[in-house]
Amino acid sequence: MEEQFILRVPPSVAEQIERLLNESSSSDDKSLDLSCSEDGRSGTFVIGNESFPASLLDLPCAVESYKTYDDSCLIKTADIGQMIMVREAGDAAPDVTEYRHGLTPPMRDARKRRFRREPDLNPEFISLVEKDLLKIMARGAADNMDILASAEQEEGAANKPAATPVAKDDDVRETAANDGEPERSESEDSDDSV
């Protein structure tokens, strides 16, 4: 796999890059350069004698890139997860590290529209559960076991099936009255075919 990134530039810079790529002769004054600062998230994009501020932003989802040699078979070359955004000199730098939108119009505001929202969890509850898990892993008992046990007992009592009726003594005596004869069905009594 190759290492790739998306370079998003303003329209004026895009025209300069296109002219530079289309020219057959390469000159020193028409060079491209990208230098990053120590934080790795900001830098400078230089084309010719002009410099533009640039920022490295994470995309909301990975983008696959492909290439082809014969216009019929596509070969995956990389998963792209970051984009270098070049801005005009007067534009403000983004204050976040993740780009809010995708690369195409349907992916506009992709984080909000397409992905599940992160759950709101109580930090105290999380720390309590973490402590209990650590105690259980250390072969101990959790602090909240009495609460959990009482809740399970209440659920067990509520979900317990109804008791089956117990046979009475009268029912037992009736079956004992037919001890001498085998039980016969109605079909045996009414069989006139013999």
Identify the helix (H) or strand (E) that includes residue 155.
Answer: helix 145-159
Rounded alpha-carbon distances, angstroms, from residue 10 to 15, 32, 34, 81, 130: 9, 15, 15, 20, 48
Domain ranges of the chain: 6-114, 119-160
Report the alpha-carbon distance of residue 79 to residue 65 in Å, rounded: 6
pLDDT in the model for residue 194: 46
* pLDDT for residue 167 is more than 80: no
Question: 61-114: per-residue pLDDT in tens?
Answer: 888 999 999 989 999 999 998 999 999 888 888 888 888 888 888 888 877 777
Q: CA angle, 169 as apex, 171 and 162 as ends, to 5°?
A: 80
Report the alpha-carbon distance of residue 182 to residue 105 in Å, rounded: 84
Question: 118-130: per-residue pLDDT in tens?
Answer: 778 888 888 888 9
Tokens of 61: 């989802």
* pLDDT for residue 58 is more than 80: yes
Question: 147-162: per-residue pLDDT in tens?
Answer: 555 556 666 665 555 5
* pLDDT for residue 184 is more than 70: no
Torsion of CA 31, 55, 98, 7, to 10 degrees: -10
* pLDDT for residue 19 is more than 50: yes
CB 59 within 8 A of CB 80: yes
Question: 135-148: per-residue pLDDT in tens?
Answer: 888 877 666 665 55
**Among 58, 111, 62, CA closest to 85:** 58
Q: How is residue 184 annotated by DSSP?
A: -
pLDDT in the model for residue 75: 92
Average the pLDDT over 13-19 and give the result.
88
More confident residue, 174 or 8: 8
Tokens of 30: 């028409």
